[in-house]
Amino acid sequence: MPSTADTSPTLGKMLLRGIVRRCPHCGNRHAFFTKWFVRRERCAGCGLRWERNYEGFMLGAMAVSFITTGEALLITMLIGVVSTYPEVPLVPVLGSTVAVTVLVGVFGYPISYTLWQAVDLYLRPVSEDDGEMHARTILSDAPQQAAEAEGEGQGEGR
């Protein structure tokens, strides 16, 4: 059986999956987020842990969010200044810059985390310490265990 590191996708594929909020490792579309801002601790598809047992994951994800929001701010301001030069209307340019920055900052939150997960997976491939295989068996056994528990509950009432 090949190791998980051997079956990891390429960096480009993982980054594309991260941009669309999928698990960078398995590509599951319901990977870490149940709603736009509500996340799970593990991927629903492969069981990969969100933070992968080390401190600093959130710092990297916040850095990605900060960089993408800053880029949106600079690009919006540049477009506003270049398109209205030489008489730059300050209020409309600043208003549109603030609006774009807030939208990218708020709605780009989950995307920045899955993007960072992709970079992190590229730099530190999945290992046994991530508990992926254990989580996969837990996730696959959960429906069977629920059915068994339901069957036991019905037997007690008789």
Question: Distances from the Cα of 113 to the Cαs of 69, 88, 117, 137, in angstroms?
Answer: 13, 36, 6, 25
**Percentage of residues in the chain having pLDDT higher than 70:** 75
pLDDT greater than 50 at residue 149: no
Confidence of residue 2 (pLDDT cuts 50, 70, 90): very low
| Lowest model confidence (mean pLDDT) among 65-69, 96-100, 134-138, 148-152 | 134-138
Q: What are the extents of the domains in the chain?
A: 11-125
pLDDT greater than 90 at residue 74: yes
Give 120's contacts (C-beta < 8 A, 6+ positions apart): 52, 57, 60
Confidence of residue 124 (pLDDT cuts 50, 70, 90): confident
Which own/partner contact pairs does 7-15 have at CB distance under 8 Å and 24+ positions apart? 8/121, 8/125, 8/126, 11/118, 11/122, 14/118, 14/121, 14/122, 15/115, 15/118, 15/119
- Tokens 């992709």 sit on residue: 118
